[in-house]
Amino acid sequence: MRIWHQSFTVLDDVPHYRDALARHLRAQARPDTVVDLHGMKAGTYPSDYPGTHIGYAYLAGLHKEQFVQAALCAQDEGYDAFLIATIPDTGFEEVRTLVDIPVVTFGQTSVLAAAQLGDRVGIVNFIAALEPQLRRNLRNYRLEDLVGPIVQVEAEFHDVMAAYASPSGLVEAFERAARRAIAAGATVIVPGEGPLNVFLADQGISRVDDVPVLDSLGTCVRTAELRAAQFRATGLRPSRVGFYGAGPERALVDAARAFYGVPEALR
């Protein structure tokens, strides 16, 4: 089985995270599953790490195109599932209408899995600009009643990357943030975004006090394996009814993308 993992990060810019991510997902997947890591294209973020772009609706929307392209490539190349490995589930609604292979997302999958461990999900994040997107997604998924506090770790992206070499400061910052979420009613914690998730898994952190901390990406890989097996066995696909389900013919998709000037590298 092959799973296409699609990050919102330019993975080659952050080799410590890339290598830890590969190691962690290999440990979580079945022995016969291959998880191929894919990041955003080099130069996607000329101003700064994607945290700068995530805070703006238009810029975040533009970057959906790379997820669309990745999903189309994954299906064309025979992958069994496509994993959108970023908590705002970038491009999920669009991608799900374009491919038949299972599409599994960090945000939706994490909340659904966490709800089996506790009745009030807290998200501990390190990018404050994500909260409006997460809240809107949760409303669209009809999951807003499951999620309570969204709390920010006192760290930036570069702090998270540096913590792979010197972990103690980030561990303490995460635990402080998790306890704030717990004090606000959280009974299970979802770590926001892949770098923090993988860091916590590397440190063996699966609980804060008596509250579980979900391994979101590990859960996503296992969910992708299940969904891929169902697709193979029964052809189980998403609804193809209505605006958010109906899938256009591939020729229409390719023609529209060409008309709007999508570069050949993304078509």
Q: What is the pLDDT of residue 220?
A: 97
pLDDT at 263: 65
Residue 51, pLDDT score: 64
CATH number of the structural domain 2-266? 3.40.50.12500
CA distance 131 to 192: 10
Tens digit of pLDDT per residue, the chain (267 long)?
999 999 998 998 888 889 999 999 999 999 999 999 999 998 888 876 666 778 888 988 889 999 999 999 999 999 999 999 999 999 999 999 999 999 999 999 999 999 999 999 999 998 888 899 999 999 999 999 999 999 999 887 778 878 887 888 899 999 999 999 999 999 999 998 888 999 999 899 999 999 999 999 999 999 999 999 999 999 999 999 999 999 999 999 989 988 988 766 554
The rounded distance, in Å, linking the Cα atoms of 71 and 183 is: 40
| Residue 127 vs residues 22, 63, 143, 164, 171: alpha-carbon distances, Å | 23, 17, 21, 18, 17
pTM here? Answer: 0.92
Is 159 within 8 Å of 166 (Cβ atoms)? no
Q: What is the pLDDT of residue 265?
A: 53
Write down the pLDDT at residue 264: 60
Domain coordinates in residue numbering, the chain? 2-266
Distance, first Cα to last Cα, the chain: 25
Q: Of all residues in the chain, what percent are helix, strand and coil, respectively (each to 5)? A: 50, 15, 35
